[in-house]
Structure formats: C-alpha cells, structure tokens
Structure 1
C-alpha cells in the first residue's frame, strides 16, 4: 500500500468535518478539484471508499468513520507537538477565525485586537461580523462572540464585556406628540421601529419586571435590520425603538433620545467569547483567550 501524505489525510478530515467539498476547499485554500483528487488518492491508497458523495451531500462510509476516529487524536497530538515547539521558540503563528455580531467585533477591535496583533505579529486574525447565529464548528471558526444568552450550552464561554440591557427609546419630538407608554402593552398604540433578524423573523420585544415576563410583536410601519439605523430612525422621530443600550448611549447622553419603560428593561448577560471544548487548543486561540480574560478583568 502506498502511504498517503499528510496533506491527503488533512484533506479527508476537512471534508469529513464539514460534510462539504466546497466548504472544505475554501477553508484549505485549494480548488475543489484538487481536494477531490486528494481524497480519491487517499481512498486508492487505503483500498476503501471513505465518503459517500451525491450532488447534494457528503457522508462518511463505515470505513471513513473508523479512519476519522483514529486520525482525530493523532492529528491533535501532532498539531500540539508542532505548536509546543513553536511556542518554545517564542513564535505563535497561524490564522484565528472569529465570528460575531457587528457590536461584538467592534468591541474586540477596541479592546483586545490592537494589543494582540502587536504582541503576536505571526498570527492573522480573520474577524467576520455576521448577525446570524452560525454553528462556529461547522463553519470553520475557532471562536465566536455573542450575548451570554445566545452562547450554545456545549461551548466554553469567557466574559468579554459587562452585563448590558436593551432599552426602549424615543425622541423628545415623538414623545411630545405621543405620550410615553407606561406598560409594554401600551406599545400597541404606538409607532414602533421593528427589527428584522438575520433569520428573516421580526424580533419580539422582551420585557421583565418583578419576574413578570412580556414578549410583544410590536406594531410599526418601519422595519430595519441594523441597530445603528434603528437608533437613527428613532432620533428622527419615526417611533419607539428597542436596542442594546451601547447603540443609544451617545444619543441618550445629549438628549436626542429619551428612555421609556425603563423599569421594564432588565439587565442581561453581556458579550462572551466562546469556543468548543476540545482535547487540543491552538496556541493562538489560547493566547487570544488569555488576553480577553486580562482585558475583562
């Protein structure tokens, strides 16, 4: 049997992990035809079919499952050994891919990223500001940043920012023409600036007071999908908005916006960096996590 190359084994593992030749090829930085050729070469070397391929899906054969199960710990140990040697020489290298919402990535850029890049010039940061709640493992990310309540339960989470809250806000001009609501139900008589989530659904405004929870699909003639634009629309008197407090802070400070239903707006867990619980963690991710912990106190 011709022994397969290390690159062929990594090619197979990438396809097996992502169940997609296209996604695996993108992550490896090679063409799909090159990737397909590598996997076929590996199958020829071991004398067994490792993947079931159709035009719409890729799945592992029984032989592929067995091989993947043996390769995972071996490759993890190999990567750990290589990174350990690099670490001993004072080099932390590689690409670190992190997914998060716009506000989360902005916070990273303001706090962690400048010092991290200065301290670890051999690491390339690939930050994706994506409002969708993606599966970071399936999409090939090393870590993600989300509000605490949105972090998957099987992930390890490290606090990045303080607790925060969503606030209902409106302009003084709007409130001069429409008396401020006293309870969440009163929003049904107001013009509200609605938010379209990345999933396509409209966000239901969630309130809490003395353990009484209320979720309302508010009325409104205007729907937007960006918190900054929602704040600007509220400042222009187009209705009541419900946004994370940091987006409205400057306008609240100078009086362009006024909070309403403030006693119904609860504090929630802030932003967290999260990552999968695995046997082996890259030195670049470990360094990034350590810096997040240092910045967050």
Structure 2
C-alpha cells in the first residue's frame, strides 16, 4: 500500500456500494461523478487491488471489495455514533436523518409529521427513501425504517403511529355489474385479480381471516403491477379486483369509484411502526423525529 486511505475515500467507497451507483453517491457526497471516480482509482492504486467492478450501467464490489466493505461498515457506524454523541451537546439536532419507508407510509409522514419536523429542526436534513424493498436498515446505512407492525424484526425498537390498518379487496361498480361478487376468498380464483410484484420479483399473496380462520390465496390475473396507487387506479378502471391498504382505497371508496368485497374477511391489524436498532446510540435527529411522530399520534 502506497499510503493510508483517507476517511473521505473510505466513506465514498461505502456510499458507492450502498447506492450501487457513482451518480447517486456523488449526489449524496456533494461531489461530481468524475471526481468520485478519480478518488476510487486513487484508492485502488494505493491498495494495489481492484475494489469495484464497473460497467456503463452498474457498479459492484469485487471479492476483496466486498470483504473491505464488511469490515468498514461497522467502523463507519461507530464513528457516526461517536459524532452523534458529540452533537448531543449542541442546542439543536443537526445532520442527515435517513429513513427507509413504503410510499404509503411516506405519504402519511409528509402529511402529518414531516412539515412540523422540518420547521422545528431546520438543521436536520431528512432523507426519506421509498424504494419498496424490505431491507436491513443497519447494513444499508439507514437510521430507521418503517413497516407494518407485524413485519418489524424482533431485535428492533418499534414506535407505532397512524393507528391500526387493514388491506381491502376492492373493485369498481362497473366490474361488479359484470361479474358476481366473491363471497369467500376461494371465489377470487374465478376473478380477474390485479396482482402486486415486489422489487425482488416475488408476488404478493392475499391474506384473509375471519372468526379465527386464516386463508392465503395466490390469485390469478392478467395484470401485475409494482405500485399500489396504480393498482387502485386499475381497479377503478374496471380491470379487476385489487387488494390494497385501506389508506389507498378509501378516497376512491368515498367517491363511489370502488366497492369493498369480502369485507368480513379483511381484519384490522397493528398499523405502521417506525423502528430502529435497540443496541445502538439513537442519534439526536432520530430522537427529535420520534418526538414529533408521537405528538402527531
């Protein structure tokens, strides 16, 4: 090794692999992509090994780059924690707060929480990421995540907000005028269902419960989407039955554009939770966000 790498270079290396993109990492770090690329070339030259495999469309770690990242991430997190400890002595929280969320939860936060938070803590930048993936928030460098309560990992501290929620099976009046409404979940197999695909490629299974009886249905349908808002719009257009969160469906139901079917099979469940690691120091910005979240109910 010609020289010891700087903290800036190592942090940039981690940011590139967190985003899997030079451009996105450059935006986060406030650098140009060309500057960031040059920085990585210098880092690789100093190490004497290739750390990144680059193509015109993607970037990925080499085997040794992956090993370096695994050793580097805990060190960077410990450094962030140490700096956060120092910031406790400041009058106001500052820095960047990164939260991973679904689009539905983000919409709720933007309506009821974020405006108050940003007005109250102007020195904190909020990075709210809605990529639709179920991720490891610690490994991917997030301060907190948001999921339905039942899906929060057991080793995390959860803060409930927004009340209970449920998924609803909905269809347009026009669709139901042409087809006999389902009376039980098994009846869905004879219907055109609008399916949801996760970013991983896995199809979402429709789950129902009534009087303690649980049913999971792998529905069929010609239309598959990866956005719940588009699913509701497709149902409004008479393309089939959709299974979406009540917060997505309610505006269309109130307007008479969608009708709930199988309502007695759609139970209420614990709603959304903000969650974060219990074994790490809680950054001041996250503490402040949680306070605003609790006040909003």
Question: Where on the TM-score scale, by shorter chain, does this alignment land: which range?
Answer: 0.7 to 0.9
| Corresponding residue of 2:259 | 258
Deviation at 1:52? Answer: 10
| Corresponding residue of 1:114 | 115
How has the CA–CA distance of structure 1 residues 279 and 258 changed in structure 2, closer, same or farther, with 3 Å as cutoff? closer
Q: Distance in 2 between the 1:204 and 1:294 partners?
A: 34
Q: Which runs of 5+ in 2 are unaligned?
A: 54-61
Q: Distance in 1 between the 2:263 and 2:75 partners?
A: 56
| Corresponding residue of 2:6 | 8
How has the CA–CA distance of structure 1 residues 84 and 201 changed in structure 2, closer, same or farther, with 3 Å as cutoff? closer
> Aligned with 1:137: secondary structure?
coil
Deviation at 1:165? Answer: 0.5
Q: Distance in 2 between the 1:36 and 1:29 partners?
A: 18
| Corresponding residue of 1:201 | 202
Q: Distance in 2 between the 1:243 and 1:102 partners?
A: 13
| Corresponding residue of 2:39 | 34
Q: Distance in 1 between the 2:81 and 2:117 partners?
A: 26
Deviation at 1:196? Answer: 1.7
**Residue 289 (1) aligns with residue 294 (2):** no
Contact preservation (8 Å) 1:156, 1:277: yes
Contact preservation (8 Å) 2:196, 2:224: yes
> Aligned with 2:166: secondary structure?
strand
Task: Give the alignment of 1:161-176 within 5 angstroms.
Answer: 161-176=162-177
Task: Return the index of the structure with the highest Cα Rg.
Answer: 1
Task: Give the alignment of 1:194-273 within 5 angstroms.
Answer: 194-273=195-274
> Aligned with 1:208: secondary structure?
strand
How has the CA–CA distance of structure 1 residues 80 and 229 changed in structure 2, closer, same or farther, with 3 Å as cutoff? closer
Contact preservation (8 Å) 2:191, 2:240: yes
Contact preservation (8 Å) 1:19, 1:59: no
| Corresponding residue of 1:182 | 183
Q: Distance in 2 between the 1:208 and 1:161 partners?
A: 22
Moved more, 191-200 or 93-102: 191-200
Note the alpha carbon deviations across 1:190-226, whole angstroms, 9 max, x for none.
1111222222122111111122211111121221221
Contact preservation (8 Å) 2:18, 2:140: no
How has the CA–CA distance of structure 1 residues 262 and 147 changed in structure 2, closer, same or farther, with 3 Å as cutoff? same
| Corresponding residue of 1:276 | 277
TM-score for the superposition, normalised by structure 1: 0.80
Q: Distance in 1 between the 2:244 and 2:17 partners?
A: 37
How has the CA–CA distance of structure 1 residues 20 and 225 changed in structure 2, closer, same or farther, with 3 Å as cutoff? closer
> Aligned with 1:259: secondary structure?
strand
| Corresponding residue of 1:84 | 88
Q: Distance in 1 between the 2:126 and 2:119 partners?
A: 12
Q: Distance in 2 between the 1:186 and 1:209 partners?
A: 15
Q: Distance in 1 between the 2:19 and 2:255 partners?
A: 50
TM-score for the superposition, normalised by structure 2: 0.80
Deviation at 1:38? Answer: 6.5
Contact preservation (8 Å) 2:100, 2:145: yes
Q: How many residues align?
A: 277
Deviation at 1:254? Answer: 2.6
> Aligned with 1:233: secondary structure?
helix
| Corresponding residue of 2:132 | 131
> Aligned with 2:6: secondary structure?
helix
Q: Distance in 1 between the 2:103 and 2:19 partners?
A: 26
Deviation at 1:125? Answer: 1.0
Contact preservation (8 Å) 1:13, 1:68: no
> Aligned with 2:274: secondary structure?
strand
Contact preservation (8 Å) 2:137, 2:143: yes
> Aligned with 1:133: secondary structure?
coil
